[in-house]
């Protein structure tokens, strides 16, 4: 096996310029699911790439959503089947003025491919495709059977993915585990194997009192929806930072001893210095914690976050109005064993109890938290394949982000899962998102190493 893997690595090295060009080509096709920009084109492009691997591939339309790109690739040498999850959609590129190189140019600047989706996650997906193509070119086969599920709504919360899982349940059941190949070196040289995700309940709060803005001269007698929303928000989380919604923390499962034992090993990637460096923050944190205690707070504490707020006049200068309506976008990150339905219900009850019946709660997207044990085959294959490439990965029992692939980890499929891979990139969800060119190479080789490790385990 080691020799085969080395030959494939050599093949990747000798074809690397072409591989990078394919990554750039793929990134130049916009695919912003939230804005319905380029989605059909990118889905077809993705299916075509799978077909070049010898896979059966098709677009599975979802009612009210963007299609899933679904493909199957057979191995002649293995009974094992992996569900390979990834996404072809990306976050909106706004604010556009923040980009030093345009988000759809995929230009290489100082050894980095700069594009929306470069790192999250079209760049890594194309690196995985390049890796499988290299395996086939060298061996004429693949080491495991693969079922590709390439999501078109990950960045919107995969609201319609359950439709797909429902319809393809029998096919998906052939998989023993789910894998998401994602270069995990947000801090270069510090890869991670990720075994769990927080859940996410994304929702809007809106107060709409009338059809028209009115002149602010009469503010002494009319209700202002912005004040109403400010007061409603304040009632949910006070200036001491504590979420004061009745029962919000009731179902929080404390971390297990196995979870806690993993935390010291990921302080260098999720500790205060690491996050400050990654996000270029120089303002103080809201908590006074260090080391594993800080990481525990990041991973095992649920949140209630305001993502956006829009009301009235927000242009230059002044406009004197009582706005007709106000809207806030929020996300609550959920830890095991919280659920989306439970949390949204508690928020509605809280608002009613506090006299904010005029505040509408509108669910946007969400899914629960999920975790896989570090002793599982998929986790062990991910950990060992990285180790064999010469680095000891951090193992995260949970990460602060959320991911819809937890839908495969819940009943009826209940698949164990892991997310891993080498390569450095960053600034996902922000301007100047990038993936290092050399990160593409590491990403491809780590995909090869993982697939052979899982086949052998």
Q: Would you say 47 and 129 are in contact if contact means Cβ atoms under 8 Å apart?
A: no
Element (H, E) at 145: strand 145-151
| Residue (of 426, 419, 405) closest to 447 by Cα position | 419
CA 192 to chain centre: 15
CA 118 to chain centre: 13
Q: Give the count of residues interacting with its own copies (CB under 8 A).
A: 95
Q: Is 222 in a helix, a strand, or coil? A: coil
Segment lying near its own copies (by CB under 8 A), choices 40-48, 292-300, 339-347, 412-420: 292-300
Pattern 342-381, its own copies, x by CB under 8 A: -------------x--------xx----------------
* 233 binds its own copies per the rule CB under 8 A: yes
Task: Figure out which of the listed residues 45, 167, 252, 321 binds its own copies, where binding follows CB under 8 A.
Answer: 321
**CA gap 267, 64 in Å, rounded:** 42
**CA gap 234, 226 in Å, rounded:** 12
* 235 binds its own copies per the rule CB under 8 A: yes
- 394-433: contacts with its own copies (CB under 8 A): 399-402, 428-431
Task: Figure out which of the listed residues 223, 242, 362, 392 binds its own copies, where binding follows CB under 8 A.
Answer: 223
For the bound state, the minimum distance from the C-beta of residue 46 to its own copies, rounded and expressed in Å, comes to 20
| Residue (of 174, 148, 209, 6) closest to 79 by Cα position | 174
* 447 binds its own copies per the rule CB under 8 A: no
With b meaning 16 or more CB within 10 Å and e meaning fewer, what string describes 334-347?
bbbebbbebbbebb
Segment lying near its own copies (by CB under 8 A), choices 22-30, 43-51, 127-135, 210-218: 210-218
As given in the structure block, the two tokens for residue 3 are 């020799």
* 224 binds its own copies per the rule CB under 8 A: yes
Task: Figure out which of the listed residues 100, 257, 318, 375 binds its own copies, where binding follows CB under 8 A.
Answer: 318
Task: Give the residue with the Cβ less far from its own copies, 366 or 421.
Answer: 366
* 242 binds its own copies per the rule CB under 8 A: no
As given in the structure block, the two tokens for residue 436 are 């290092």
- 272-291: contacts with its own copies (CB under 8 A): 272, 275, 279-287, 289
Segment lying near its own copies (by CB under 8 A), choices 187-195, 230-238, 337-345, 414-422: 230-238
For the bound state, the minimum distance from the C-beta of residue 430 to its own copies, rounded and expressed in Å, comes to 6
* 302 binds its own copies per the rule CB under 8 A: yes
Nearest-5° Cα angle at 298, 258 to 273: 105
Task: Figure out which of the listed residues 108, 165, 230, 413 binds its own copies, where binding follows CB under 8 A.
Answer: 230
Task: Give the residue with the Cβ less far from its own copies, 42 or 437.
Answer: 42
The residue ranges of DSSP E strands in 335-429, in sequence order, are: 360-367, 370-371, 394-396, 399-402, 417-420, 425-426
Q: Is 233 in a helix, a strand, or coil? A: helix
- 137-166: contacts with its own copies (CB under 8 A): 155-157
Q: Would you say 445 and 131 are in contact if contact means Cβ atoms under 8 Å apart?
A: yes
Q: Would you say 236 and 243 are in contact if contact means Cβ atoms under 8 Å apart?
A: yes
| Residue (of 127, 66, 35, 154) closest to 437 by Cα position | 127
For the bound state, the minimum distance from the C-beta of residue 444 to its own copies, rounded and expressed in Å, comes to 25
* 303 binds its own copies per the rule CB under 8 A: yes
Q: Which residue has the tokens 């923050």?
A: 281
| Residue (of 286, 91, 309) closest to 207 by Cα position | 309
For the bound state, the minimum distance from the C-beta of residue 315 to its own copies, rounded and expressed in Å, comes to 6
Task: Give the residue with the Cβ less far from its own copies, 292 or 302.
Answer: 302
* 305 binds its own copies per the rule CB under 8 A: yes
Q: Would you say 189 and 438 are in contact if contact means Cβ atoms under 8 Å apart?
A: no
Task: Give the residue with the Cβ less far from its own copies, 25 or 319.
Answer: 319
- 27-66: contacts with its own copies (CB under 8 A): 33-35
Task: Figure out which of the listed residues 314, 375, 390, 411 binds its own copies, where binding follows CB under 8 A.
Answer: 314
Task: Figure out which of the listed residues 202, 434, 435, 450 binds its own copies, where binding follows CB under 8 A.
Answer: 202
């Amino acid at each position: 096996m080691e020799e085969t893997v080395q030959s494939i690595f050599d093949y990747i090295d000798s074809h690397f310029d072409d591989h990078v060009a394919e990554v750039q080509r793929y990134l130049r096709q916009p695919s912003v699911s939230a804005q319905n920009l380029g989605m059909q084109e990118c889905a077809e492009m993705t299916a075509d790439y799978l077909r070049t691997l010898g896979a059966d591939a098709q677009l599975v339309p979802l009612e009210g959503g963007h299609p899933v790109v679904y493909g199957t690739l057979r191995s002649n040498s293995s009974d094992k089947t992996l569900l390979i999850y990834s996404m072809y959609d990306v976050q909106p590129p706004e604010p556009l003025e923040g980009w030093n190189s345009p988000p759809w140019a995929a230009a290489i600047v100082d050894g980095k491919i700069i594009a929306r989706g470069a790192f999250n996650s079209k760049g890594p997906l194309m690196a995985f495709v390049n890796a499988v193509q290299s395996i086939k070119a060298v061996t004429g086969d693949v080491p495991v059977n693969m079922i590709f599920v390439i999501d078109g709504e990950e960045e919107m919360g995969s609201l319609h993915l359950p439709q797909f899982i429902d319809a393809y349940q029998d096919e998906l059941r052939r998989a023993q585990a789910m894998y998401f190949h994602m270069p995990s070196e947000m801090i270069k040289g510090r890869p991670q194997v990720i075994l769990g995700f927080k859940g996410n309940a994304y929702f809007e709060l809106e107060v709409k009192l009338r059809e028209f803005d009115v002149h602010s001269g009469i503010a002494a007698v009319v209700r202002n929806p912005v004040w109403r929303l400010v007061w409603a928000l304040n009632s949910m989380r006070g200036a001491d930072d504590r979420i004061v919604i009745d029962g919000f923390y009731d179902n929080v499962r404390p971390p297990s001893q196995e979870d806690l034992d993993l935390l010291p090993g990921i302080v260098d990637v999720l500790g205060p210095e690491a996050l400050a460096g990654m996000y270029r923050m120089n303002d103080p944190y809201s908590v006074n914690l260090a080391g594993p205690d800080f990481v525990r707070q990041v991973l095992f504490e649920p949140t209630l976050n305001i993502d956006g707020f829009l009301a009235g006049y927000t242009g230059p200068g002044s406009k004197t109005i009582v706005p007709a309506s106000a809207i806030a976008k929020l996300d609550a990150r959920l830890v095991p064993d919280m659920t989306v339905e439970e949390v949204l219900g508690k928020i509605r009850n809280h608002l009613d109890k506090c006299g904010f019946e005029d505040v509408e709660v509108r669910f946007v997207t969400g899914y629960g938290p999920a975790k896989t044990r570090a002793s599982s085959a998929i986790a062990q294959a991910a950990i060992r394949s990285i180790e064999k490439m010469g680095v000891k990965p951090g193992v995260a029992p949970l990460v602060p982000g959320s991911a819809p692939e937890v839908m495969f980890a819940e009943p009826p499929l209940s698949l164990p899962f892991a997310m891993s891979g080498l390569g450095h990139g960053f600034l996902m969800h922000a301007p100047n998102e990038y993936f290092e060119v050399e990160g593409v190479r590491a990403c491809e080789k780590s995909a090869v190493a993982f697939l052979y490790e899982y086949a052998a385990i």
